[in-house]
Structure 1
Amino acid sequence: MQLPAHIEEHIESMVRGIPLATLIKHFQQYSLSYRDGMSSQISLPSQMEKICYLATRMPATFGAVTAVFQECERRIGKVSSLLDFGAGPGTAFLSALELGWELKSAMLLEKSQEFIALGKQWTPSWVIWQKGDLVKLHAVPKSDVAIFSYSLGEIPEQNFKELLAKAWDATQKAIVIVEPGTPRGFKRILQAREYLIGLGGRVVAPCPCNAPCPMTNTEWCHFSIRISRSSLHRRIKHAQLGYEDEKFCYMILAKEEGSPCKERVIKTPQHVSGRIVLTLCTASGIQNKIVSKKEKDVFVFAKKTHWGMCF
């Protein structure tokens, strides 16, 4: 997974003439906050830090959201309108375009004027950008899908439910939430899940049903997507590999029944001596399923199965 070529080229053009040492310094300043889980969408006070974000975090955000949007389309069908709470530079909108969504309208809500200015450079003129603090929102338009992409973790506890209620009221098909694949990100996902189920939401992914999450206090439900690193990305991070694995949590809650999968693979399948061991989340809880070579068709399918897929 990687950013569209024209976006990568645009970011490359923005950093021309900036010393690499300067980029590395600003990258290090905000990356510590992300690793420590201090915020799901880092507060970036300077223009330089925003540029570093585009080069080093935007690809991972794009990859995670694209993977979740693919799942969203499988569960609720076509989407024609999008409402983004905390849009950053428009990453989720770009993911929707990359997947070929035929959007007729999109409103992107973002508090940073700098991110709005950047996002307007690569989003169509018909996209509506609205500047403002999410907790001070009043009316928002109806939309098929509302998304919180690495932004819900920024919302103060006292404003959390009120904002979710506004988003739910505006949603015609589903709310999509993506957070870092950390215990803290998962906790926020669970809080949103419980509250939205109380409003009538139906979980369509990744969970197979609305039952309480069976994960224990020592585990958290998260997934992974492999992200290609550009040359600039590698230089800023002092990275040798041409890729990185982005861990993320997500939840999709629909207004209607949708079509959740009955069993989801929640860990990397284990291949051992003619058998494949799958850890599955089911309506009855977490179960380990052993598939042997004797089950020919099932075994062939299990060999193609990976973490995050339906089984």
Structure 2
Amino acid sequence: MKISFSLLAFSLLKNSRKYGTQVKPSVEMEDQLIALIKADEMKPRKHPGVMKARTVEVPAAVVSTMKVIIKDKPVSALRMEGEKLERYLKGRHPPVEKDQVTSKGIEIQQQIEAKLGVDLLSLSEEQKEALKSRFQNLVIKRLKHMLYSWKPVVYNEHSSLLYMVSRFAPEYAVLLKILTEVKTREPDFQPHSMFDFGSGVGTATWAARSVWGDTIQEHFNVDSSGEMNDLASFLLRGGDEEAEMPIKAVFYRQFLPASHMLKYDIVITAYTLLELPSARTRLETILNLWNKTNRYLVIVEQGTNAGFKVTNEARDFILELERRNDSHTATVAHVFSPCPHDLPCPRLTHDKTPCNFEVSYIPLPFQGRCDAKKERYSYVVLKKGPRPDSDVQWPRIVRKPLVRKKHTICRMCVAGGKLQEIIFTASKHGKIPYWCARSSNWGDLLPMTVKDVNGKE
């Protein structure tokens, strides 16, 4: 028992340094919310911060069309190749920048020179040139081993099929969860137009229609692969090339439109930033998409360190726009989700793990076993305009809560731009806050205000 207690104590101490439990923050819950729960008009497990976490299934119409598409194909081979493609995509990193290559090359050359003990001053020009050529080959060889070799993924007809088989279900589940939160938290938002950059096989179109139905009257899809666009169109037509498109205004293009005059209520770019060739291209693309946004810009990537970093890069870039332009007198954007603040991400300063979330989904029936799987993702939803005064900025649970006997440990990102860990108990925080914390899950908002000892959020 002593060993177990010591391990638990060490774990709590380690987390307290990361999440700041040593400050012992106070927790406040709205009286109105407490009254609703006391009156049994609301259950703690259905408090307003809970995000629907049901296991997501791909619409039956999509599955039926996919079966038509692959009926004459070797399904087992498609599944195996699709799994290989999925592993590759989840291991993607952004391209190495030129200045990184140069600085790393200089560092390697200096290491080689030091190891060989070369005195450049004592060499003739011919010897220096010969040595330079030799060093160059060694440096290039080592660089290839040390730096990530990025190359674009080219989607032809076959690889587009592989992407559909392996990635439609998890990406649909992720987008459905994100868009459902937007609708839940802002029920009056009724988008009439949607722009999807890097649209692939049209997953975002299906997710958006599942959330808002026919409210969206225009879908504009851009993907560099013509084969992907053809497959997305084929899926919407139910597998019949001659059938009428069920959506009146749906467009497929291979390039971003040059005009900044066209704007869309919601703009989505999902699993696309890591496919762009440089940081400059990523930021130029994000700026272009932001200029096309009327209300919401949704950015989604893999829940890996690489996916999180490029998502956070885009988040910071948009939030910094007004600081680069003195003519702006108000914030041009704020984070709608997942962050309850617009400050720098505290995750980057505390550890090397990504800020990510998880969703459960049912794989496609021809993927073998149909047991529920989980997909981790990093994302940010940016909203035009300053943060409204009515925004309660509830803390977001950023790791799976630890539900224990008579206490629950919640690790959260709070409005003050910090990571906070709170051990909820009924005796210390009250029964209702305790029940709400115990009923919450990873990704939920906790309907409370967390303040430190100085009274700051």
Q: Give the TM-score taking structure 2 as reference length.
A: 0.62
3-state DSSP of counterpart to 1:27: helix
Aligned pair count reads 303
Is 1:293 the counterpart of 2:426? The answer is yes
Deviation at 1:38, TM superposition (A): 4.6
364, 376, 386: which one aligns with 1:247? 376
Distance 2:336 2:64 in 1: 36
**Alpha-carbon offset, residue 127 of structure 1:** 3.3
CA gap 1:63/1:260 in 2 versus in 1, 3 angstroms: farther
SS at match of 1:290: strand
Q: Which of 96, 106, 122 in structure 1 is aligned with 2:208?
A: 96
Q: Quick one: higher RCO (CA 8 Å, sep 6+), 1 or 2?
A: 2
Q: Which has the larger radius of gyration?
A: 2
**In structure 1, what is the equivalent of residue 364 of structure 2?**
230
Find the residue that maps to 1:99 and give its secondary structure: helix
Q: In the alignment, is residue 308 of structure 1 matched against residue 443 of structure 2?
A: yes
> Which residue in 2 is equivalent to 1:105?
218
Q: CA deviation at 1:66?
A: 0.8
Match status 1:172 vs 2:307: no
**Percent identity, aligned pairs only?**
22
Question: What is the CA–CA distance in structure 1 between the aligned matches of 2:176 and 2:401, rounded to whole Å?
Answer: 23
Give, as a single letter, the amino acid of the residue that structure 2 aligns with 1:255.
Answer: K
The CA distance in 1 between the partners of 2:249 and 2:358, in whole Å, is 30
For residue 191 of structure 2, what is the aligned residue in structure 1?
79
C-alpha contact 1:175 1:252 (8 A) present in aligned 2: yes
Gaps of 5+ in 2: 1-55, 95-151, 237-245, 322-331, 447-457
Larger strand percent = 1
1:261–1:9: structure 2 CA closer, same or farther, 3 Å change rule? farther
Counterpart pick for 1:138 among 258, 267, 270: 258
Alignment of 1:156-235 (within 5 A): 156-199=278-321, 200-215=332-347, 216-234=350-368
Distance 1:106-1:206 versus aligned 2 partners, 3 A rule: same
Q: Name whichever structure is richer in helix by fraction.
A: 2
TM-score, reference length from structure 1: 0.90
For 1:71 and 1:28, the matched residues in 2 are separated by: 29
CA RMSD of aligned residues (A): 2.1
CA distance in 2, matches of 1:175, 1:158: 19
Residue 241 of structure 1: how far off its partner (Å): 5.7
Answer yes or no: is 1:126 the counterpart of 2:248.
yes
The equivalent of 1:43 in structure 2 is 153
Deviations 1:59-82 (A, max 9, x none): 000000111111223445332221
1:14 matches 2:69: yes
Q: Is the 8 A contact 2:361 2:372 kept in 1?
A: yes
Paired residue for 1:60? 170
Q: Is the 8 A contact 1:108 1:127 kept in 2?
A: no
Partner Cα distance (2:334, 2:357) in 1: 21
Q: Contact between 1:269 and 1:305, CA under 8 Å: does it hold in 2? A: yes
Answer whether contact 1:202 1:253 (CA < 8 A) is retained. yes
Q: How far 1:120 sits from its partner (Å)?
A: 1.5
Task: Kindly provide the CA deviation profile for residues 196-219 of structure 1, in whole angstroms up to 9, marking residues without a partner as x.
Answer: 002222111100010111013412
Matching residue's letter, 1:176: V
Matching residue's letter, 1:186: F
Q: Report the CA distance between 1:28 and its aligned residue.
A: 4.4
Of the structure 1 ranges 62-71 and 299-308, higher mean CA displacement relative to structure 2 is found in 299-308
